[in-house]
A = this chain, B = another copy of it.
Amino acid sequence: MAFEKVKRSENYSEWYNNLVKNADMAEHSAVKGCMVIKPYGYAIWEKMQAQLDFMFKETGHSNAYFPLFVPKSLFEKEEKNAAGFAKECAVVTHYRLKSNPDKEGSLMVDPESKLEEELVVRPTSEAIIWNTYKNWIQSYRDLPILINQWANVVRWEMRTRLFLRTAEFLWQEGHTAHATRDEALEETKKMLDVYAEFSEKFMAIPVIRGIKTENERFAGADDTYTIEGMMQDGKALQMGTSHFLGQNFAKAFDVKFQTKEGNLEYVWASSWGVSTRLMGALIMVHSDDEGLVLPPKLAPIHVVIVPVYRSQEEMLSIAAAMKPLMAILKSSGYTVKLDDRDTYKPGYKFAEWELKGVPVRIAVGPRDLDSKTAEVVRRDTKEKSIVPMDDLYTHICTLLLDIQENLYRRAEQVRSVKTFLADTWDEFLDVVNVKEGFAMAHWDGSAETETKIKALSKASIRCIPLDQIQEEGVCVFSGKPSKGRVVFSKAY
């Protein structure tokens, strides 16, 4: 392939950027910080969306759509939330362009179209949604409200990175309203579990479920639950968050309901989201120096067949021989592609599909037809086998299941190898800076210590694991008492 390859071991960050670009996933656009998601990348995102959407609906949620714009006066109502996002807001101030009298063929903002009130392009939709829920909720009969929205959001970023950090990104945001604290908290945890299940079973990425510290909490939440994954370079990536919002938004927007007993109470809330960041995680956890490696459950193409031929006649006989296999794979729900382009040689095609992470590649030439076999290569291990034509279907089905499992196992092993107990400050620095991994360390529970550790090591507390073991210890930094370890790591 005509592009520069970079090895993970040489420059992980450049390897990532190159891969995203060369595998036709996404690219930077003419708009600073905004990305173009290319068809191949978008096809993976669509697979993710479809599965998540299914899981949201199975857990009782419906989709809806709320405005892109949030009037400033609504935006500022929940003060913590507003303060958290104010510094990264795209603001619409005018609603018309006009001809620029000083420059022919050019347009300028029409000063007469200045809006009375500025509109914030949503960085998240709690404000506009809670202002709407206010009118939907009068009585306990109106609860719960279980709504999800698929949307674009904008958070102005100076330093951007495709999928991981962009000014505009695509996401889903769930916003639920409940009659009781318990119910809202249960919802918050349930959706964290949905995210964890999606990550582990579909993305093949093991995650740690935990709670964020106050420093790292969503602005406006009482508690933020998170799933944290480990990338191949040992850094963490926050893959999804589910927020217990308490009554904060209900109070800010004055949303009360009449209880069964006839009292007026504030509504309880949750919100939860995952975004196109997940694409970044998918790439960073599984891919290798040859390109993308995709778990079969999220691969837009499961199997590619590359015919090896010299004449058009040979091509046609190979295509004919593969037809029944393609039909039966298709009817089993797999996407199969016969790469019959005559503008490229087989070697080029092998490299291209490897780069694009297609889980299984089949190569068939005239001699294979004679011997009634085919060469099958699995993308994850690059292992080759010669398989009798009659066994191909079963072989491929088993292989796809095996690749899915193998990717998860491999990711789990990387994480296990790069996770360390750190009991002293030196050990801690060694883990996060030299070994480059997760440090399971005691922390005294104070925001002050957390901030100092981050300033000195660049490692943050990723979460307090939900399955944290109660263990007496002393803070790795302050020496003060602690009752359990938390997960520290550098992060994306």
Contacts and interface: CB of A to CB of B under 8 A. Distances in A.
Interface of A: 27, 29-31, 34-39, 42-43, 45-46, 62-72, 74-76, 79, 82, 86-99, 105-107, 109, 118-121, 128, 131-132, 141, 147, 151-152, 154, 156, 168, 170, 343
A96 B170 CA distance: 21
A97 B72 contact: yes
Given A66-B36, A343-B141, A87 B96 contact: yes
Contacts of A36: 64-67, 132
**Count of identical protomers in the assembly:** 2
A87 B95 CA distance: 8
Q: What 10 pairs between A and B have smallest CB-CB spacing?
A: A34-B67, A39-B62, A37-B65, A86-B97, A95-B156, A91-B94, A31-B67, A93-B93, A76-B107, A90-B92
Given A89-B96, A91-B96, 7 more contacts: A38-B64, A43-B63, A72-B107, A75-B97, A82-B97, A90-B119, A96-B156
B63 A42 contact: yes
16 contacts: A27-B132, A31-B119, A34-B68, A35-B67, A39-B62, A39-B63, A42-B64, A43-B63, A76-B105, A86-B96, A89-B95, A89-B97, A90-B94, A90-B119, A93-B109, A97-B120
A479 B489 CA distance: 81
Contacts of A42: 62-65
B154 A68 contact: yes
A82 B98 CA distance: 10
A36 B120 CA distance: 17
B79 A105 contact: yes
Given A46-B63, A63-B43, A69-B168, A107 B86 contact: yes
A30 B64 contact: no
Nearest to A341: B141
A42 B380 CA distance: 40
Contacts of A128: 29-31
A89 B108 CA distance: 11
B343 A70 contact: no
Contacts of A91: 92-97, 109
A39 B97 CA distance: 35
B92 A96 contact: no
Contacts of A72: 97, 107
A71 B82 CA distance: 27
A106 B82 CA distance: 9
Contact of A69 (B31, B65, B106): B31
Q: Which of A31, A82, A168 has the most CB of B within 10 A?
A: A31
A94 B35 CA distance: 19
Nearest to A131: B30
Nearest to A29: B67
A246 to B, nearest CB: 19
Contacts of A156: 95-96
A336 to B, nearest CB: 15
Contacts of A151: 152
A88 B92 CA distance: 13
A109 to B, nearest CB: 5
Contacts of A31: 67, 69-71, 119, 128
A156 B82 CA distance: 26
A329 to B, nearest CB: 18
A128 B87 CA distance: 26
B168 A29 contact: no
B168 A68 contact: yes
B98 A109 contact: no
A82 B62 CA distance: 38
A72 B107 CA distance: 8
A301 to B, nearest CB: 12
A74 B29 CA distance: 12
Contacts of A75: 97, 107
Contacts of A98: 86-87
A6 B236 CA distance: 58
Contacts of A131: 30
Contacts of A87: 96-98
Nearest to A46: B63
